[in-house]
Every structure is written in structure tokens, then in C-alpha cells.
Structure 1
Amino acid sequence: MNKTLLLLAFFSYFALSAQTFNSTDLRVTKDDLTLNTYEKDSTANALVLYEQGNSYFDRHDYVLTTKEKHKLKILNNQGFDHATIEVYLYSEKSDSDKEKIEDIIATTYNIENNEVIATKLSEENIYKTRYNEHYNKVTFTLPNVKAGSVITYSYTLISPFMWKYKGWEFQSSIPKLYSEYKASIPGNWLYHKKLIGSEKFAVNEVDIKKNCLTSFNGGKADCEESVYAMKNVPAFIEEDYMTTTDNYLARIEYVLKTFHSMDGVIKNYTKTWKDVDKEFKTEDGIGKQLRKKVNTEELLSQDILNNQNTLEKTQAIYKYVQNNYSWNNDYKLFSDFTIKELTKTKTGNVSAINILLHNLLDQTGINVKPVLLSTRSNGYPTKIFPVIDDFNYLIVKATINGKDYLLDATNKFLAFGELPYKCLNYYGRELDFKEGSNWVDIEPQSISRVMYSVNASINDNDEIIGKVKDKYTGYDAYFTRQSYFENKEEYVDELINNTPFLEIYNHETSTTGKTENTFAETYDFEYTIDDNTNLVYLNPFIIKFFKENPFKLQERSYPIELGYQRNYLYSFSIDLKDKYTVQELPKPTRLALPNNTGDVSFSAQQLGNKVLLNFKLSLNSVIYPAEYYPYLKEFMGKVVNIQKNSIIVLSKN
């Protein structure tokens, strides 16, 4: 009887509804079950139909409570992963104070033989594990999931940590029709709100609820009641040339600023940079190690100590630390370490190695400052107020004759003044315990260039023979140096494998040092012409800078972050020696990006028996705003087309 009534209720609702997904609540409609495509994103494997979060301070138990509801459509088999739910619960090391999860309800809906089948999650299929020292993890997978299923799940989170107010992600790797978050915050808890991403709110309402909270001593507080919602949120799809998803994923976060207790006591959680500078100066970690004296006479040679040229002395000290101490791949900026231990073991984390460099430079009279930064994969550090956890790396800034040099001695292949690519995240915080800390720009010192020169000719055996000379500068030189010196044989093998239609031999490089500013190499090549045809179709780009367009999205809502400016130069010359006649040359091309942020030029001409070709590509910006994406996508598509389809047509004399 109950089952029949349930089915009647279902199909009564089906008859009245339009042919659209229900994105207003957790109810599962006929359209939710029968519609299996999402018109706005045909590539989507799953779709969030509706979700809501509601966070509030429980006035009885004095804990932060968050109730969550989710409804998803599984569009095809590739969407099954979204039926496995993982919830991370924060806990202190003692595990006495920890977040909890309660009231997990999860159901899978399918239509089978015109009947709605609801399959509920069993409690024994909910798994709780220790994830790491700070988090427990709860995992459950919805049962009986198929292509076309609709899943719903809900739960309640209980947290004793008001300093860690629940945030909300309105965007994810799959599109969302409706995502809503409600937050009720007592007036005695003051938070900084961080709104991240470029998506716009469909609902953004804030109201004040009087006397929402009372204490045992009669104290009262009003609450800020907020409602935020987004509709038709596109999936966030990662693509090349970006930092980290966390910089752009549409969401709201809360950082506790101040707590006013009911008895009048005020506690500040978010400090000023002046407060942070003072703490760094006196604390036992980074601050203490920056004050440590090192025995320069024992560590450095007399040639270094007696050098009166400031730049040369700085370079020599940098090279000493770079060559004698190894990074242990530890990014923990504030982990326990000592300079004394580093000098004994010769191995340490980023902070230890670069603080040793700082102290050696400082004690030999060089003007240096430590700089905190966040790597590209770690996200942008907050500028509005200090959030020390945003930083995960420490480098050194040396000022010599009015010029600043940013130094990192953890990498054996970096030239003096270069930072690892992972550190090119726009800005860092320079620590100055006397004058106060300040923001500094993190920028490459020079443009990176890749230059190829190919000189070829046709011999008596109808073979194209020639020599390639190439030169890299800047970060392109750094990447190539590292690849070459780490494994020379593997480097040459990869070079050969990347050009299977050529015979490559006599590879040489004039670069002898791992930290030189450039990398240069030469090699000979040979290519056999097919003599069974009257015409020869020759692509002069035996080396291609881009084999495919790196930009493939229909649209991109986040910027294109190259990290550094890039130039590519390619010249090709072939001597036909009266053996062949040019029938056709590729047409010249010249294109430019808006506001002179990039250009490409290509030309081919015949001079006597020689064919000369020149190609130049410049990307003049470190970062391109999202609105440049369609131009950059079209631009790079044409760059790839030039390299793939520029053909010289020759006929044999």
C-alpha cells in the first residue's frame, strides 16, 4: 500500500512538471531520471542538480553545525566516480577535539520497467579512516549506481572549532545547476570573508537576526544571516599554463579575525604584519635560525672571504651553498630544523638551506633579506591580512649596487639570480625586522628564448643533409640544462625519438656547466628523399615548438599564466644545388595578439639555388587575462598550423 502511494506521488509530480531537471530541492522527478544529457555541456559525465549547505552556531551545544544536502545526476559510466563521497574531518593531535559527522542518508534512484527503484546506503558501507595527522576521512559509495541514476545524500557536520568556520565550493569539476550556502554567524565572532573565482552570485543576501545567541550569564548576540547561491555554474576544467585550481574555483572562505566573549574579553586571531614581524623576530623557528651565527672562517675559503667585489663574493657564496648542501624535498616552511644540523648532515629543507645562505651573506657584509612566498601549486598568498599558512617557501633577496637578486640555493641547475619555475607566483613577503616587512614582486630577470638555425643541402644521393644549431636562454635554458645533465644519454635518445624521420648524429654541446645562463648544442642530420615521385613535399620545420594547440577549451574563466615571457626563433636554409626547382613556397604570415602582447611572423623566399625561411614567435606577457583566451586560442592554432602545414614543393631537374 505504501509503495503504491509512493509511486502515485512520483508520477503525479511527473505529469505536472516540464521537461527539465529539478534544481529547486532534493526531490527526484521523472525528468531527473529520464533526461540523460546536459545541453550546456555535452562533455559532462555527471551533473549537480541541487545542493545546499547551512551552517549555524548551535545555541544549546555551542558547536558549529553544518547540514548538507546534495543531488547529482550520473549521465554516463564515466561519471561513476562522483558516486563515491569523501568527507574530511579536522581533529587536533590529541583527537579529543575533533569534527564529527552524523545522520548520513544516501539513496540511489533508477527507473526499471517503468518503476522507480530507490536503493538506500547501508550503514556498514560507511568507512572511517585516519587520513593524516590533522584529518580523519569518511568515505561512502552510493549503491546500485548506473548510467542515468540520480543520487541524493545528506549529512550533518559537528565542529567545536569556531575559528574554522565552514566554507563552501560553488564550483567543481562537473557543472552545477544550483548551489546554495546559508551561514549564520554570531556577532561576537568576526570573520574575514574571501570570495574566490569569477562566477557571479544569483543570490547574495545578508540580514541581521536579533538575539540569536544567549549565554549562561545572560549575554546576548545578534547573528548575521547570509544566503549565497549560484546557478548554472560551469565545470572547472584544468588546462596548461595555470597555477592551481584553488586560485580560481568559485567558493567562499572564512578566516577568523576577532572573538568577543560574553564576559567582555577580546581575542584577536588575525594579526597585522607588524604583529607577525614581531613574532617572527622572537619565535624559535625561522626567526631564531635567522639570528644564528655561522662560522664563516670554517665554511668559506679565504679567497671568498677576501674578495672585495661584492657581486663576485655573493655569487661565490651562493655557489658554495648550492654545491655543498642538498634539498631533502621538504616544503614544510615552519618544520623543526637547525642550521647546525644542516652543516653536519649537508641535507635539509628549503628553509634551512636558504637561511644558511642568508646568514653567510649577512655575516660577510652583503645586504640580504629573507622572503616568504607561496609556490604556484600552493596558491596566491592573501594580501589583505596576514595568513602565514599561505606561505610554503623561503628564498633570499640580495641587494648589490642597487640591484636586487632573488636567490634559491636548493637547486643544482639554477643560474645565479634565477628561481625555480614553481616559485614564479608573482609576489612574496620580504621580512625586515627593523623597518617592517613588505611585498616584493617575483619576476623573471630576463626573457626566455629558444633559437634554432638549420642549414641544409642536397647531396649527390638525393639526401638532405645538414646541421642544427640551437641556443636556449632563461628558463628554457634551465629546463634543458637540467634534462641534459641529469642523463645525457637519455637526453640524446629523446632528441632522436622526437624526429623519427631524421638520422641524427654528432651531437655536441658547448655548455659545460650546470648553472650557465644558456644552453647551446649542435648536431648533424640526414633525410632521404623519396625518389619515386616527381615532386618533393618538404616541411622545413624539422623541429616544432608546438606540436598541438595547448588551448582546447570552449571557454576559459581563469587567466593564462605562462610564468615568464617567451620568444621562439627558427631559421631554415637549404641549398638545392641545381638539382631541384622550387615549384611552390609557403605563403608569408603575420599575426598579432591585442595590445602588442604577442606576435608571430613567417616568411619564405628563394635566393638563387637557396630557399630561406624565417619564423619568429613572441609571447610578451607573463599572464593573459581570461578575456584574451579566444584570441590566444586562435593565435596558437595558427602557430601550430604554420609549423605543420608549411610545405616547400620541389621538382627534380
Structure 2
Amino acid sequence: MKQTIFLSFLLLSSLTLFSQSNYHSDSYRVTLGDLKTNTYEKDSTANALIIYKYGNSLVDRYDYDLRTEIKQKIKILNKEGFNKANVSIHLYNNENSEQEVEKIVATTYNLVDGKVIKTSLLKKDIFREKHDENHTFVKFALPNIKEGSVITYSYTRISPFMYNYRGWDFQSDIPTLYSEYRTSIPGNWHYNIKLVGGKKLTKNITEIEKDCLQNSRGGSANCANSIYAMKDIPAFIEEDYMTSKSNYLARIEYELQTFKGFDGSVNDYTKTWKTVDREFKTDKEIGRQLKKSIDLEDLLNPEIINENDLLKKASAIYRYIQENYTWNGDYKIFEDVSIKDLIKNKSGNVSSINILLHNLLKESNIIVKPVLISTRSNGFATKIFPVISDFNYLIVQTTINDITYYLDATDNYLSFGEIPFRCLNSYGRLMDFKNGSEWVDIKPSKPSNVYYNVELHLDENETISGKLSSKRTGYHALNHKKSYYKNKEGYLQKLENKFPHLEISDFEVTSDGLTSPDFKESYHINYNYEDTGDHIYLNPFFVEFFNENPFKLQERTYPIDFGYKDTYFYSFKFNFDATKYTVVEYPKTKSIALPNNSGKVLFSAKTLGSTVFIILKISFDKAIYGPEYYSSLKEFMSKIVDIQTNSLILLKKK
């Protein structure tokens, strides 16, 4: 039986090869070079280094268990790397079967006065920790760890779950010099194989071994024996503005497509979307609930039912769900889905809440369809073939007057047409049971903006006072609405703490409540400036959009994902008595742009008579920037921080 393997490479950039100093990355054996070398020239911030990592997965010829041998050799560079000597092996079990681990061997090597000292892990120092009914961890800590230690450990994991062939992480949070994974897959099992993370394999070999697997009745299968390897893999460091690291971590994944028994039977595990659509439509949880009819009079008041404007009606139904039902925080969208229980208990999971919204809109003759998505923290859903377990969230799409809206009623601060930030993960699967499902882009229809307008005046008593007003839209508004309406006193206290040089009074919020698409506030301020006799120093940016540069890595190999486009606008006007003061110094006008005009900073400062005018506008015209923009964004942010912190107005008495 021949084995067919589908290998999908998601290659975004190639990996440059560097010298490996004196480390011996070709094998598991510890050398003097491994012990004597105590730096890693390519990454001076590394606390530890994987010198050699090896895995070998194969099917046992007798009991068909999947056996995976693991070996690692790690250099401890400093004390912050000591945690790499703590090893945890995850084991899964269900009611019938369980994974096991055996042959655990671990050793610490130290170089002391020119001699190699070996310290072995004792069996009594290996512990089992039951996490829950399905998950156990086997843990151990290597002994005698010091700065400069080299540790090795190996073990074999035995799994009866061949449908879940072990994947392999080439990349981790510390650099890796060499990582190799060997697999042997009998032709009975046909997997879709996917390489994730944009790193290039330095070794990719597959050979066929004849009759590697046999059964007692004379049936046999060939095996596809593969070797995958990578060299000089940088550490994956998480930073702001990213989705799940699982989207970008260099690794290989397996998804069982079909199993063919020696008796000729065939089991399909990965199906077409056409098949999934048909099964989903009749699913006892979501599918059945989507078809439930609801008597509108039982839930909605006559004013909503009789509304002729479909957009107003949809908005009213959406608000009704927000106000009357509470999300219990459950992401298990395919379990315990019940509109009946939701209506009774006033609380339920995300599927129950948004399916009730779906059904009320449908009963009101409004076009609506469910959309399956994977949230930002859950990673991207696979597009190559249907993997329903990739999805962990459900929203709805409605079309009114040829305009498409995405809705999620789990958050009572959202305005109509907004979805939570956690849902902004590029795309989702629109479940259209009539015409077939399809992929749809999930992104905000409008940018999120922040506006500040400040007007100050220096009076005859040398007091600087005035008014500040601000407006936020989109996700900037959403965050402030939640902060303000959940704790108004606490919000004002945070505002006062944020501006220690200001005295705030007459605070007022002028937007229209929890679901308003914007958040508007204003307040009177007294500015406590630095007075040095004949000079007054005034920093116009007591409001800072970015008080530090969020980008600190030397290199970033994954996208910068803001989630949405946004703009920041700051207008500052300062009036003074020109007969008593003169402006000696004020900031210089600047203009900065990102490559391809994908973002801009416009900073203008000028004096006209007795007034200083300052305008700062920052725009990010892309929601997601590729890693090739990182160095430009890093410099861009640095200049923004510099403008806000180093802009001074200097007045001198005449």
C-alpha cells in the first residue's frame, strides 16, 4: 500500500545560516566545545541555547502504538536560563486509552577546574502530576545546574492515538542551532502535513520502506520515512501587537485525512466543506438550534416588531439581546448550545447568545447567517482543509440595504456593527446552508480614532488654565466606555493620576451611553508649569498617545497586527499676552512616513501673534503590517515618542 503525503509549506522568508561557534550541534553527545563556549554571538540576549534537538516517531509493528523518542541538548548561559532545566512532559488519556512515557534519562554536565563533572537525574526525582481527568504531566528538574552547564535529557512517549500524530516544534523561546524530526508513517494512515511559521527546512527527505507494517493475516503496508530539519533558528519572542504565537512558531503539524484498514475499510477524517456543511446543518447542537423558530411576541415588544425600517429593527433586536442575556464566558461553541436554556437562565455560551440573535433577525425577515471564527488568541483556522476544531467562536453576519454587518451580542458595550477585538483574526467561515459555506474577511469597516483638542491661556496672574476635550471612536471608544461606565469614580481617579501636573475640574462625558459608537469627554484644567523666574517652560504634550516605543526587538519575523486601522489627532492652542511675553523657542515642524505611505506623522508648530498652534496627526493606514515593516515601524514609533517627550515651548518675560 503506497502512502501519499500532502506537504503544505507556508514559507514567508528564508533563514540565513551563521557559524555555530564551538558548539557541537551535529549530535546528542556533549563535547568540550559545548562546555567551554559560554556566549552565543548571534543573540546576546539569550539566556539558554538549544544546541541539538531530535525526535523520531514511528508506529510499533506489534501493537500499532505511536512511539516518539525525544532528545535535547541545551546550554545554560546564565541564571535566567536555569528554568530550562525544568522539564514537563504532557500526557493525554481518555476513558479507554492513555499515553505513557518511559526511558527518561537526564544528565547535567559541568566543567570544574578543567574536569567534566556529570550529575545524573535520579528516578526518585521524577514526579507525576494529575492536571485533570484527561491530562497528566510528568515532571523533573535536572540536578546541579550552574551558569555554563550543559544538560541532556531523553525519553520515549508512547501513544495509542494514531489519529493525532505527533507534531514537532522547531522553534522555541530560546535559539536553536539544530532541530531534526524523523517520522515513519505506514500507508494505512494518510495525513495532511503542514509546515507553519515561514522558516525554511534545511533537510526534507522522504523515502519509501517496503512492507514495514504487517498484520497476522498477511496484509502489509509500505511506510513513508521522512527527515525534516532546520538550522540556526532564532528565538521566538512575543511582543505587542500580535495574534497567537501558534500562527508563527516554526513547526510541522499533522491532520489525519483517511485510515485504510487491512480489510479494505476506509475511514475519512478530513472531509470536504460540502460534506461539513451538510453535517453541520443537521448537527444536534448548533445546526438544530439555528433552525428553531421563535415567536417574536414572546420576547420583543410591539414597537420593535412593528418597526418598518430594517436597520432600526435589527439594531433594536441586537440591543435587546445585549441588555437581557449575559455571556457566561464559555468558548465551547459546539457544546451545551440551547436557546431554551438561555431564555430561561438569562445566561449562556457564545453560540447560544448569537444563535438567539440570528433566529430573531431571521424571524424578522432580515438576511442573516452564522459565521464560525477562531479568536486572536486561538490562532488561525486552517484554510487548506476543514478542521472544525480550529474554530472556537460564533458570530453572525447580516445584510441590510446591501450593507454587510458582523454582530456579536456577548458584549453590551458594543455598538451595532462592531465585534469584540478578540474576533479580529482576519477571516471566518460563513455557514450558508443554501449556497454552501465560504471564507469571508473579518475586519472593521471603519478606522478607530482618537482626537484631542486643548486650549490654554496664560493670564495676568501667570496661571495657565483652559479646557481639554477628547473624542474616541471604534475600539478606542470601546475600551474607555468600559473603563468609565464600570467605575466612574475610579476612571476619574486614574485620569488625575495620569496627569500629575494638571488639576482637573468640571469633568463631563457627553457621548450617548454604553453602546454609543464614540466616547466624548471634556474637563477644565489648571496646568502647573515650571517657572524659573523670567522663563516659563511648557510641554504641550501632557497627553501622550505613546509614552514608550512598544517595539524593542532587533528583528521581528512575524506580522505587526494592530487589529484595525487608526488615527491619532492632537490640537493644541496656547494664548498669552504678547505685550508681556515673547516665545523664545517652540518645536520644529516634522513630517515622517512609513514605506508605501502606509502611515504618516504630521507635526506642525507655529506662532501667530500671541498664540502658539501645535498639531500632531499620526495615522496607521494598515491594520496588519508585514515583518518587513518592523524596522521602519520601530523608527516611526521612536520619533513619535521623541516628539511627545521633547517638545517644549519657552516663553520669556519682556
TM-score range for the pair, normalised by the shorter chain length? over 0.9
Quote how far apart the aligned CAs of 1:446 are.
0.6
Per-residue deviation at 1:129? 2.1
Shift of 1:525: 1.1
Instruction: Identify the residue that residue 395 of structure 2 maps to in structure 1.
Output: 395
Deviates more, 1:168-177 or 1:34-43: 34-43
**CA offsets, 1:183-208, max 9 Å, x none?**
11112211111110022111111222
Cα deviation, 1:402-437, whole Å, max 9, x if unaligned, reads: 111111000010000000000001111111112111
Separation (CA, whole Å) in 2 of partners of 1:283 and 1:473: 39
Shift of 1:143: 1.1
Aligned to 2:304: 304
CA–CA distance in structure 2, aligned partners of residues 528 and 317 of structure 1: 49
Q: 2:23 aligns with which of 21, 24, 29?
A: 21
Deviations 1:266-293 (A, max 9, x none): 1111011111111111121111111122
Residue 632 of structure 1: aligned partner: 633
Cα deviation for residue 555 of structure 1 reads 0.4
1:53 counterpart = 2:63? no
Equivalent residues of 2:466, 2:526 under 8 A apart: yes
1:332-347 alignment runs, 5 A limit:
332-347=332-347
Q: Which moved more, 1:45-54 or 1:500-509?
A: 500-509
Paired residue secondary structure (1:599): strand
CA distance in 1, matches of 2:352, 2:530: 61
Cα contact 1:462–1:528 (8 A) shared by 2: no
2:531 counterpart SS class: coil
Matches within 5 A, 1:609-620: 609-620=610-621
What are the equivalent positions in structure 2 for 1:463-502 lying under 5 Å apart? 463-502=463-502
Question: Is the contact between residue 530 and residue 538 of structure 2 (CA under 8 Å) also seen in structure 1?
Answer: no
- The 1-side partners of 2:335 and 2:318 are apart by 23
> Could you tell me how far apart the structure 2 residues matched to 1:291 and 1:116 are?
71
For residue 155 of structure 2, give the secondary structure of its aligned residue in structure 1. Answer: strand
Residues 85 and 141, structure 2, Cα contact 8 Å, conserved in 1: yes
Q: Distance in 2 between matches of 1:319 and 1:161?
A: 46
Quote the Cα distance in structure 2 between the aligned partners of 1:207 and 1:642. 60
1:19–1:330 CA distance, 2 compared to 1 (3 A): closer
In structure 2, the partner of 1:14 is: none
Task: Look up the equivalent residue of 1:235 and give its one-letter code.
Answer: A
Q: Secondary structure at the match of 1:471?
A: strand
Provide the residue aligned with 2:590 in structure 1. Answer: 589
Partner of 2:642: 641
Distance 1:501 1:133 in 2: 56
Q: Check the 8 A contact 2:529/2:537 in 1, yes or no.
A: no
Give the residue type in structure 1 aligned to 2:110.
Answer: N
Q: What SS does the aligned partner of 1:542 have?
A: coil
One-letter amino acid of the structure 2 residue matched with residue 25 of structure 1: S
Which string of whole-angstrom CA distances, capped at 9 and with x for unpartnered residues, describes residues 195-236 of structure 1? 100221111112222222222121221111111111111000
The SS at the match of 1:198 is coil
- Distance across 2 between alignment mates of 1:574 and 1:446: 32
Which runs of no fewer than 5 residues in structure 2 stay unpaired? 1-19
**CA distance in 2 between partners of 1:585 and 1:262 (Å):** 83
Q: Using the alignment, how far apart are the partners of 1:560 and 1:257 within structure 2?
A: 33
CA contact (8 A) 1:258 1:268 kept: yes
Report if aligned partners of 1:427, 1:440 keep a CA contact under 8 Å in 2: yes
Structure 1 residues 8-62: Cα deviation after superposition (integer angstroms, max 9, x where no partner)? xxxxxxxxxx960111111111221222211111111111010100011111221
Alignment partner of 1:372: what SS? strand
Within 5 Å, give how 1:283-362 maps onto structure 2: 283-362=283-362
Equivalent pairs, count: 634
Distance 1:363 1:81 in 2: 57
Answer yes or no: is the 8 Å Cα contact 2:501–2:529 preserved in 1: no
CA RMSD, aligned part only? 1.2
2:89 to 68, 87, 90: 87
Distance (whole Å) between structure 2 residues aligned to residue 395 and residue 101 of structure 1: 41
Aligned to 1:602: 603
The answer as to whether partners of 1:556 and 1:626 remain within 8 angstroms in 2 is yes
Give the 3-state SS of the residue equivalent to 2:342 in structure 1: helix
* In the alignment, structure 1 residue 32 sits paired with structure 2 residue 34: yes
The amino acid across from 1:217 in the alignment is: R
C-alpha deviation, 1:461, in angstroms: 2.3
Q: Which moved more, 1:122-131 or 1:488-497?
A: 122-131
Aligned twin of 1:235:
235
Q: Which moved more, 1:312-321 or 1:131-140?
A: 131-140
Secondary structure at 1:131 match in 2: strand
Instruction: Decide which moves more: 561-570 or 493-502.
Output: 493-502
Question: C-alpha offsets along residues 362-397 of structure 1, whole Å, 9 cap, x if unaligned?
Answer: 112111101110100000001111101100000111
Tell me the SS of whatever aligns to 1:47: strand
Cα offset, 1:306, TM superposition: 1.0
Shift of 1:130: 2.1
TM-score with structure 2 length normalisation?
0.95
Q: Name 2:16's counterpart in structure 1.
A: none
What aligned pairs does 1:15-414 form with structure 2 within 5 A after superposition? 20-92=22-94, 94=95, 96-414=96-414
2:11: which partner in 1?
A: none
Alpha-carbon displacement from aligned partner over 1:599-635 (angstroms, at most 9, x marks no partner):
1110111111000011101000011011111111111
Q: Does the 8 Å CA contact 2:293/2:359 hold for their aligned counterparts?
A: yes
Taking the aligned partners of 2:568 and 2:531, their CA distance within structure 1 comes to: 33
Q: Helix, strand or coil: the match of 1:315?
A: helix
Matched residues in 2 for 1:392 and 1:548: separation?
34
3-state DSSP of counterpart to 1:321: helix
Counterparts in 2 of 1:430-579, with a 5 A limit? 430-578=430-578, 579=580
Deviation string 1:51-88 (CA, Å, 9 cap, x unpaired) is 10001111122111111111101111111111111111
CA contact (8 A) 1:508 1:523 kept: yes
Q: Deviations over 1:427-468 (max 9, x none)?
A: 111111121111111010211110000000102221211110
Q: For 2:536, what is the secondary structure of its paired residue?
A: strand
1:3 paired residue number:
none
Match for 1:633: what amino acid?
K
What secondary structure sits across from 2:522 in the alignment? strand
CA contact (8 A) 1:427 1:439 kept: yes
Partner SS state of residue 353, structure 2: helix
Structure 1 residue identity aligned to 2:495: L
**AA of the residue aligned to 2:41:** E
Q: Does structure 2 conserve the Cα–Cα contact (< 8 Å) formed by 1:371 and 1:394?
A: yes
Question: Match of 1:339, as an amino acid?
Answer: I
Instruction: Mark the runs of 5 or more structure 1 residues left unpaired by the alignment.
Output: 1-17
